[in-house]
Amino acid sequence: LPAPPARLPYVPHVPPTALLGKVTATTFALERPRGVFDGHADASDAVWLAVAFANASATFRNPRSRADVPPYKQLPTARSYMTLETAAAAYSCSAPGPPVLRVGGDTACRDQGRQDPCNGPLPSPGPYRVKFLLMGCRGPKAETRWSEPILLRRAASPSTIDPAPTRRGSDVVVMASILASLGAALATAVLGALG
């Protein structure tokens, strides 16, 4: 049996700073971990992001190889998937790159029948929990802790939107009538002067 992966103290989290679209109805941003896997990773290793419904994270099992990685399309039934496969070197302290990762940002995933790791839109508000997993050719080598639950925004239900315009006060109606009458009188005067 392969050795269990090293447990790293890092906890993935949504950036604390103000960020446009930090959490939406189908996506959320994560701070990119820097230097977390230094000392554990080889040049050929990859870092994956495991995404699970919060109530399913305790039963998530690390895959033994890339072939066993749970795909996005199985999220509704398996309650978890893995995505954002990235070379481990991209997470080193000195690696350039964006400070955040977007989970759920690939809208083309819905229509793909392929097995490639997909970063598709999240299907419900969740909550979700995530962890990073360092995978080598012999399986998992190191993993972070699971994040705290991340709840997505909920879209307003169409039943809560009032389709009827709000009633206007009688003062507004009187003012609108006076302005319309003045406008008509002014137009008549201008046409009379020109004619």
CA distances to 102, 132, 135, 144, 190 from 83, rounded to whole Å, are 11, 10, 12, 15, 70
Domain boundary assignment for the chain: 6-154, 169-194
Cα separation, 50 vs 21, whole angstroms: 21
Residue (of 91, 155, 84, 163) closest to 124 by Cα position: 155
Cα separation, 42 vs 114, whole angstroms: 28
CATH number of 6-154: 2.60.40.10
Contacts of 44 (CB under 8 A, 6+ apart): 136, 137
Structure tokens at 66: 């890339």
Cα separation, 186 vs 195, whole angstroms: 14
Ramachandran region, residue 113 (left: φ > 0; alpha: ψ -120 to 50; beta: rest):
alpha
E strand or H helix that includes residue 180? helix 170-194
Q: What is the three-class DSSP state of 173?
A: helix
Structure tokens at 139: 């399986």
Residue-wise burial string across 24-41, b where 16 or more C-beta atoms lie within 10 A, e elsewhere: bebbbbbebbbebbeebb
pLDDT by 10s per residue, the chain, length 195: 667 888 999 999 998 888 888 899 999 999 999 889 988 888 889 999 999 999 999 999 999 888 888 888 888 888 999 999 999 888 888 877 778 899 998 888 755 555 567 888 998 888 999 999 999 888 899 999 999 999 998 766 555 555 555 555 667 667 777 777 777 777 777 777 776
